Amino acid sequence: AFTWEVRANDRNYHMQFKKKFAFCLTKKKYAGNAIKTAKYNIFTFLPLNLYEQFHRMANVYFVFVILLQTFPEISTLPWFTLLFPLSCLLTIRGLRDLIDDIGRHQSDRNINSRPCEILSGKSFRWQKWHDICVGDIVRLRKESFVPADMLLLCSSEPSSLCYVETADIDGETNLKFRQALLDTHQELVSEESMAAFDGEVTCEEPNSRMHSFTGTLEWRGETYPLDSERILLRGCKIRNTDVCYGLVIYAGFDSKIMRNCGKIKRKKTKLDRVMDWLVIIIFLVLLVTSLCLAIASGFWAKMFQEKHSYLSALYKHTTPAQQAFFNFWGFTILLSIIIPMSMYITFEFIYLVNSFFINWDLEMYYAVKDIPAKARSTSLNDQLGQIEYIFSDKTGTLTQNVMSFKKCCINGAIYGNFCRMQVYRDSQGSGLTWSHHSEKKSDFCDVTLLEAARQDSDPVLREFLRLLALCHTVMVEEKGDQLVYQAASPDEEALVLAARNLGYVFLARTQDTITISELGVKRTYKVLAMLDFNSDRKRMSVLVRDPQGRIRLYTKGADTVILERLQSRGPNETFTEMALDCFAEETLRTLCLASKEVSEVEYSVWSRRHREASVLLQDRAQELDKLYEEMEQNLQLLGATAIEDKLQDGVPETIQLLKLGNIKVWVLTGDKQETAMNIGYACKLLTDDMEILEEKEISSAPTTLSSHSEILEAYWVSNNNLSSSGEALCSDHLSQQRPEASCHKKRALIISGDFLDKILHTGEVLKEKKGRRWRRLACFRATGSQEQGGLVEKAFVDLATSCQAVICCRVTPKQKALIVQLVKKHKKAITLAIGDGANDVNMIKTADIGVGINGLEGMQAVQCSDYALAQFSYLQRLLLVHGRWAYLRICKFLRYFFYKTFAGLMAQVWFAFHSGFTAQPLYEGWFLALYNIFYTTYPVLSMGLLEQDVSAKKSLEFPELYVIGQQDELFNYRIFSVTLLHGVSTSLASFYIALWAFQDRVGSRAVGDYESFAVTVATSSLLSVLMEIILDTKFWTALSFLMVTASLLLFCLFSFLTQSFEAFRIAPAIFHFPDASRNALTDPYVLLVVLLSVVVNTIPSLTIRLYRTITGKTTIQQKICLKARREPEPSVELRAHVPRGSFCRRSSYAFSHQEGYAGLITRGDSLRTGATCST
């Protein structure tokens, strides 16, 4: 609906509009330009944070127990003894969230405080981004970022062109042009005229559609249509344009990029969700146990109260049923320490320290820019060890955004293999007078080519370099004695610079001429026609008349289109194709160069037809394409160029390691398909032995399995438990249509955002299939409440996840998040998203783990990320080392915390069977209070902080170790059940061995009292727990040994202090075990009983470990660890990549360019004549 009205220079008009957002509450319809990624403010922090924290079941459980303890009839401990640790837990987590949010506030302030020039009155004044309002006119300068979505009014460029870089929005590095309306360009020539501008824009409401805009401008009684070509989006960077002016249409959260950013959601790890369920399970077990013991207490009271008068007197005011009721709650409180709050406090401490380990890792410190790794979230470390899918941006994440001319093939000869240009320059001194424009340093180095260019004896080489200097849309500007090129794409700039370094310098151009310097000689060519590039033609040509009057056509483009338009094929063409193979093997971006001479007669006929086609009102583009096709025939091949789109350091090795760790990498980019595929091969995500499933294949062959609808049908059949007939039908079709396709065949899926939107939102691909087979398969589809859209989603995800690599091109930020969400929804997989621009923010927020690259495209990705890195290659260490260690440590910590808790405290249950089923504690109160704080926490804490199964070096050498986290091998419901049974068995052995021993003691000096029995059981349980932790610790440090020793010393110290006779005399109600430890632990008999208990509890663990080692029935992890320890030290190089097989040659074409620049040049729109308006 076109209900969004914007009046220029009229803030009061926009302030009057309100919109409802909750019940009867309203807010301003037009948002301000300030953004807020922070979650809290000074008023909402406490309620919102507490609301989020009480989403954890453990916190709800602790509050419930505290409420029970406020009733004195059932309380076994003072209520504040549990309130204090809960308050500490909530405070620690709250402070952690507050610190994280303060960082977001700081980042918001940095963005909102960026300076900009806003028209105020009749002059522009420097203000902040957050001061911008809808309807303001803003002046932007070169290299500045656009602060809001704006209508371009005019610029200093000819015809009010404005060149923008959208890498922060869609990942594309080539420049795009925007053009203002002719009337605003001509009329708004001064600040006074802008202040008087009162145009009104009517357009669509704020939305997330990045590439579309529809509206009108009403001004001076005229109505002008507006589209996306007139709009500057927030986040664009102004390039090659000195000054431009814009009218703010959408500000702040109404801007398209912010609409694509999504909301901040609290992320929970898989272990957090498991822990929530375990708390519920333990609580239910606790309630059932308490209920059973309470019922037993009622029966026991009924049986024995009448027989024993002292019991009748004690419970004369209560009936057995009442006693059972009170005992139920008493047991509930007594056993509540089975879920200790100290575990959650320790949990947070482990998370925090492991985050510091990431921050302190010098292997992830980027010294070039002084950027360390940063764990912005401290509660997701263990999930770094469970990643199954990585969704990566391309531009700035995998690549450096730097194009470099590396090699070329001219007349069948390859150049660029030798790097001696600098040495040659140094030796020649000032001999290269014709090359004073060349760069001092060049990535392209070949003395042979340089010398051949100097001699100027090879006509093919001369034409090759001349083509590079002539066939392009680059603009040039002189600044002093320097030539500054303004290219629409980094590819074109690299080609023109390469020609300049070899003596063919592009100097100037007009509407119909282009001037170059050839080996120091200035020559001007008349431009007769420019045959523009587009994604279908994959080539561009320029038709020129040289100073001698000859007409020549120069063409550059993809090898697949140039080679089929050659006049003849000979040895040179064959050698060039072989060179293209070599360039493709090196994953360089290639272009073929060709030319031909055009006769005057041919040109005059073609020119007349060209003029006629240029003025057609219908089918103009098709007629021009036909004419271009006619002209670009019978070409003579000159050679090929190879440009390197430089990857970040270590990207291919990182992706190889991640793939070996069973992590699938998907590339989601807004760039073109050819560019994305080229990078896919460069970073080893794609290999030549892969079957590439492209969108073109899917759309072009409906009778084969390449038809995407049939592929989706096949997955429907195989993944929805369909009938055998349906499965057979699908299987037959697979074997008939593509017999070479195998389930073991490596496949890669490459699709576009448009196609993704088509199959996921409208289902048009499926609806197009109306044939008999489609109707037959329809009867086999799962029916029920699931809608067709959900089935299409699942089929697509099944198809994509079955591929070894997936590349999605031309996707919007919202589509990136959608893809991540689909994989999370249908595969229940742990996902990681990594990117460096604002277009990656939504994806980063949606994924389970968000990683921001601290790169060139601003800081928005880092601000919304969970972890910040300087390079993509650091991801291997973050996941394979820190992530795996964190998962290992947390899982071991949980296992042994639960084990020690059940082993030490379940004796309370066994004691109830021998104490009349009363809620009488077995242990002294101080032992219960200190058991989980001092006596057993330190060894488990050292395991949670320092445990390693193998070193960091071995972890990177053997990425297969990572699989264990993906399969939840170290902590799951089965492991928890085994841990629970292990703890119960330890408590049974400790309790009943002591009970058996104490029942057999006689004599005057025998220790057989209740206090000594409690000390014996406590000591046996504690030592058994410590022995189990000692046996399972793989990585011993001085701190680990110190913590185990400290636990024993603290147990002895506090036991003798709290159970001393002096303490009893001071406070007999608090210290009611006088000299119990001294009496029991100095008795040799008791010490032998303790030793027996420890041996009995340890022998099963030792036996199981020995049995697994002898029989070879070790876990996957243990086998790999054993292999890792036995392997010799690895060589410096990483594993070899998958060898390339013998396949048909693939095209390595990838040219970053936007259609339309040729028209700008031939019309003269892009040629400077002076400033458009005052600055």
- Return binding residues for ATP: 393-395, 492, 533, 556, 589, 669-671, 810, 816, 839-840
Tokens standing for residue 819: 């893809």
Helix (H, G, I), strand (E, B) or coil at 188: coil
In total, the chain counts a number of residues equal to 1175
CB of 148 closer than 8 Å to CB of 251 = yes
Nearest alpha-carbon partner for 660 in 1139, 1142, 1134, 1116: 1134
Tokens standing for residue 857: 């495209």
Residue with tokens 């333990």: 282
Nearest alpha-carbon partner for 629 in 557, 551, 526: 557
Q: Which uninterrupted H or E stretch holds 522?
A: strand 521-531
The Cα 938–Cα 948 span in angstroms is 17
CB of 231 closer than 8 Å to CB of 151 = yes
Catalytic residue check, 393: yes
CA atoms within 13 Å, Cβ hemisphere of 30: 24
CA atoms within 13 Å, Cβ hemisphere of 448: 10
CB of 389 closer than 8 Å to CB of 843 = no
For the CA atoms of the chain, what is the radius of gyration? 37
Tokens standing for residue 712: 């989706």
The Cα 584–Cα 589 span in angstroms is 8
CB of 880 closer than 8 Å to CB of 963 = no
Helix (H, G, I), strand (E, B) or coil at 389: strand
The Cα 972–Cα 746 span in angstroms is 32
Q: Residue 699: CB partners within 8 Å, gap ≥ 6?
A: 708, 755
CB of 155 closer than 8 Å to CB of 194 = no
Q: Which uninterrupted H or E stretch holds 536?
A: none
The Cα 529–Cα 511 span in angstroms is 11
Report the amino acid identity of residue 251. Answer: A
CB of 714 closer than 8 Å to CB of 775 = no
Cα of 1121 vs its chain's centroid, Å? 29
User: Alpha helix (H) ranges present in 408-528?
Assistant: 421-428, 447-455, 459-470, 490-501
DSSP class of residue 437 equals T
DSSP class of residue 758 equals I
Tokens standing for residue 116: 């900009």
Tokens standing for residue 667: 């590339």
Q: Which uninterrupted H or E stretch holds 28?
A: strand 25-28
Active-site residue among 149, 168, 393, 491? 393
Contacts of 520-529 with C-beta under 8 Å, sequence gap 24+, read: 520/433, 520/434, 521/434, 523/547, 525/470, 527/1161, 527/1162, 528/603, 528/607, 529/607, 529/610, 529/1162
**Helical packing angle, 884-905 and 937-946, nearest 10°:** 170
| Strand ranges (E), 107-233 | 115-120, 123-128, 137-141, 149-155, 161-165, 175-179, 200-203, 215-219, 222-226, 231-232
Burial class (CB in 10 A: 0-12, 13-18, 19+), 166: buried
The Cα 40–Cα 105 span in angstroms is 9
**Which residues define the annotated binding site for Mg(2+)?**
393, 395, 836, 840
| Strand ranges (E), 695-791 | 747-752
Burial class (CB in 10 A: 0-12, 13-18, 19+), 204: middle
Tokens standing for residue 34: 């300030």
The Cα 1042–Cα 1032 span in angstroms is 16
Catalytically active residues, by annotation: 393
